[in-house]
Amino acid sequence: MDMSAKTIIGKEEWCGLPELGLPAIKARIDSGAKTSSLHAFNIHSFEEEGRKYVHFDIHPIQNNRKIIQSCRGLVVDRRDVRSSSGEKERRHVIKTPVKIGEDVWEIEVTLTNRDAMGYRMLLGREAMKGRVLIDPDASFCLGTLEDRDAEKYYSVRPADKSGLKIALLASNPALYSNKRIMEAGEERGHEMRFINIRQSYMNISALSPEVHYRGGELLENIDAVIPRIKPSMTFYGCAVARQFQSIGAFCLNDSTSVTSSRDKLRSLQLLSEHGIPMPTTGFANSPVDTSEIIKMVGGAPLVIKLLEGTQGKGVVLAETNKAAESVINAFKSLQANILVQEFIKEAQGKDIRCFVIDGKVVGSIQREAAAGDFRANLHLGGTASAVKITAEERRIAVQAAKAMGLKVAGVDIIRSKDGPKVLEINSSPGLEGIEDITHKDVAGMMIECIERNLRRRRRAA
């Protein structure tokens, strides 16, 4: 074989996908990966004259979400691909010519809505076979291009006139969930605004309630607000959300519902009013009742929870009645509010997080406690994996979110011998675990929920 005739390429190169309208895209060349992939979103398949096509959008330039190219490709397969995190994902496979240097040949590419290692495109060994030689220590053997020069190949799609003005009300723009919500909104043509709760202030008056931001800017004409309020900001964050509601913005989660979801006892009372199953729970304030409460919830082993606790902190397992009594009395002497709950031993340290949007479970994951712990919280070293939930679990999760008045909720369910029981409801559920494991664009579904509700509201008006 004549090796010298082949082009040598490095671990990253600029290439083109001419039939997709992508003249310049920076690709990672990785012979360790079998298949090639393209980072795409808004992926929809359709049929035309008996052939299957897929329509998708892509941000061809890294770290630039303003430039969006819409592409259409011929689908040749659906394939299960295992991502670097080990999860299986079913992807569309399209066939399209690739141009590398002066050579053009057809390759198969899978479409996925996650970045491939920070690159918009990953070229695997199947696509490169027999065509080029790869020097894994080199980069851009066929010439470099600055990102801003590559941008000139594309036009910035004009902002969609039907786009909404959406405010994300939160504290930390660097959080995965917040970044994803901002990009999902922008991808759908909306004007996204990150509003830091702490830096907003309000003018509460009967005639013209207002919300102001940093340096005095008046926040007007906001169509919708996505509250992502951390527990320590509940009081002020909900007040700001409420103010936005009073000036006509649609709030993805109603501020009153967010407030009540933050109170564990209030949440359980609401669930119980709606007949939603939950572990037998007791609550009392005076130390005199300690042994009565223990008896009421069926005796040890039982779980004692601090009402103000989050992420599993302040959740204690007492194996004997004696231990339970000491722990309860200790908490009480610290004036801490607690609840006492039957211990669901058969759950074996597992619980299920159901992500509910607009009355539907859009994804669910199972969380399993680290060895030696009974609490499945990921912050405590628990691990998450894919899980299939039953129709009953689905129904209970949806009912629980509805009972709390939440359009978006993370409903934690535990599997007991008497069926599924709701442990807790989170009004700002994290997106990272659920998107990572289910490969679903959950942030996008939150934006679509806003679009749907505003359409409904406008029709009703």
Report the residue number, 331 or 343, with the smaller CB distance to ligand ADP.
Answer: 343
Q: How buried is residue 380: exposed, middle or buried, by Cβ count under 10 Å (0-12/13-18/19+)?
A: middle
Bridge partners (DSSP) listed for residue 194: 168
At position 51, the amino acid (one-letter code) is R
375 forms part of the interface with ligand ADP (CB under 6 A):
yes
Taking residue 277's Cβ as centre, other Cβ atoms within 10 Å add up to 17
CA neighbor of 199 nearest in space, from 164, 233, 245, 165: 233
- 423 near ligand ADP, judged by CB under 6 A: yes
d(CA 436, CA 114): 9
When asked if residue 250 is in the footprint of ligand ADP (CB under 6 A), the reply is no
Piece of the chain touching ligand ADP by CB under 6 A; list 207-215, 236-244, 323-331, 341-349: 341-349
| 426 Cβ contact partners less than 8 Å away, ≥ 6 residues apart | 261, 409, 410, 411, 412
- The DSSP secondary structure of 47-111, one letter per residue, reads EETTEEEEEEEE--STT--S--EEEEEEEEEEEEEE-TTS-EEEEEEEEEEEEETTEEEEEEEEE
Q: Is the Cβ of residue 71 or residue 347 nearer to ligand ADP in the bound state?
A: 347
User: Is there binding between residue 260 and ligand ADP (CB under 6 A)?
Assistant: no
Q: What's the start-to-end Cα distance of the chain, in Å? A: 73
430 to 449: interface string for ligand ADP, x by CB under 6 A? --------------------
Choose the binding region for ligand ADP from 247-255, 318-326, 367-375, 386-394 (rule: CB under 6 A): 367-375
CB of 353 to ligand ADP, least distance (A): 9
Residue in 10, 298, 309, 381 binding ligand ADP, rule: CB under 6 A: 309
Beginning with the edge strand found earlier in the chain, give each strand of the sheet holding 210-213 in spatial order. 200-203, 210-213, 217-218
Site for ligand ADP in 115-144 (CB under 6 A): none
Going by their DSSP bridges, the two strands 36-39 and 103-112 should be labelled as parallel
376 binds ligand ADP (CB under 6 A): yes
**By CB under 6 A, is residue 305 in contact with ligand ADP?**
yes
- What dihedral angle (degrees, nearest 10) is formed by the CA atoms of 170, 221, 449, 264? 40
Shortest reach from residue 280's CB to ligand ADP, in Å? 9
311 binds ligand ADP (CB under 6 A): yes
- Please say which residue, 338 or 362, places its beta carbon nearer to ligand ADP: 338
Instruction: Report in angstroms how near the CB of residue 367 gets to ligand ADP at its nearest.
Output: 7
Cβ distance to ligand ADP smaller for residue 242 or 367 = 367
**Which lies closer to ligand ADP via its Cβ, residue 363 or residue 410?**
410
> Per CB under 6 A, does 315 bind ligand ADP?
yes
Q: Which amino acid is at 240?
A: V
By DSSP bridging, strand 51-58 and strand 69-82 are antiparallel
Rule CB under 6 A: say whether 351 interacts with ligand ADP.
yes
Site for ligand ADP contains 409 (CB under 6 A): no
Q: How far is the CB of 375 from ligand ADP (least distance, A)?
A: 4
Minimum Å gap between C-beta 321 and ligand ADP is 16
Which of 192, 363, 374, 410 lies at the binding interface for ligand ADP (CB under 6 A)? 374
HEC readout, 272-293? HHCCCCCCCEEECCCHHHHHHH
Residue from the set 237, 312, 410, 429 that interacts with ligand ADP by CB under 6 A? 312
Binding test (CB under 6 A) with ligand ADP, winner from 112, 341, 364, 427: 341
ω into 301 cis (within 30 of 0): yes
Structure tokens at 138: 């080199």
Contact call for residues 318 and 301 (beta carbons, < 8 A): yes
Rounded to a whole number of angstroms, the minimum distance from the CB of residue 137 to ligand ADP is 47
Q: Distance (Å, rounded) from C-alpha 334 to C-alpha 280?
A: 24
Q: Which of 424, 427, 438, 447 binds ligand ADP (CB under 6 A)?
A: 424
Contact yes or no for 105/98 (Cβ under 8 A): yes
383 near ligand ADP, judged by CB under 6 A: no
Interacting residue ranges for ligand ADP, rule: CB under 6 A: 279, 303, 305, 309-312, 315, 341, 343-344, 347, 351, 369, 374-377, 412, 414, 423-424
